Amino acid sequence: MTTIGFIRHGVTAWNKEGRAQGSTDVPLDEEGIQMAERVANRMEYEEWDIIYTSPLIRAKRTAEIIAEKQSALPFYIDKRLGEIGGGIIEGTTEAERVAKWGLEWRKQDMGFEPEETIISRGMSFIEDIKEAHPGKRVLVVSHGGFIGRLLKILVPHGEFENDIGNTSVTVVELQDSKNLCHLFNCTKHLETREV
């Protein structure tokens, strides 16, 4: 029984501007670095065995900040954990999309990564993790869209309607019969005040 702790990367300037990021390599902003430091402080007091991260800099930097507090943990980059490809809308805001393609832009072919491809790479990663790390606790630093899609496959009867928050923690226990989500979209580490 392998346990996976999904962590979404810290916030970026594009997150704040409402710009679609997708596979564009946007770095954390100053607040995003602080958020990553706070989730790292939280993880320091939890038992984890290994860290995997998306290669995109916003996730990779978040993972590196977590790893700095847990230097004994093995650290791997896996391209399958990258964000969903956003096609030609990457870098645009909703207002810009409406202005350029109209209100019905979602019904047009924008070159998004196909759903089957997203699920295939996500489940390929999960199967490899189960095989390589049975019984271990694995941290996975990735992206909101990707984590959200994967959760709906791993825990199909869960209620995951919320957007995945920046540096939120979601914990899923992988079991043979039915996976269990023990924690969803938790950002309690952001609520505490620095003294």
Q: Is 99 annotated as a binding residue?
A: no
Q: Is 58 flagged in the annotation as binding?
A: yes
Q: Look up residue 26 and give its two tokens.
A: 């946007």
User: Is 185 labelled as part of a ligand binding site?
Assistant: no
Of the residues 37, 83, 90, 113, which is catalytic?
A: 83
Taken in order 147, 181, 160, 45, is the CA torsion positive or negative? negative
CA–chain centroid gap for 117, Å, is 17
The answer on whether 3 is annotated among ligand-binding residues is: no
Using an 8 Å Cβ cutoff, are 81 and 125 in contact?
A: yes
Check if 9 is active-site: yes
Does the annotation list 85 as a binding residue?
no
Q: Is 48 annotated as a binding residue?
A: no
> Annotated catalytic, 143?
no
Q: How far apart are the C-alpha atoms of 38 and 122, rounded to whole Å?
A: 27
Which residues are known binding-site members? 8-15, 58
Binding site listing for substrate:
8-15, 58
- Active-site residues, by number, are 9, 83
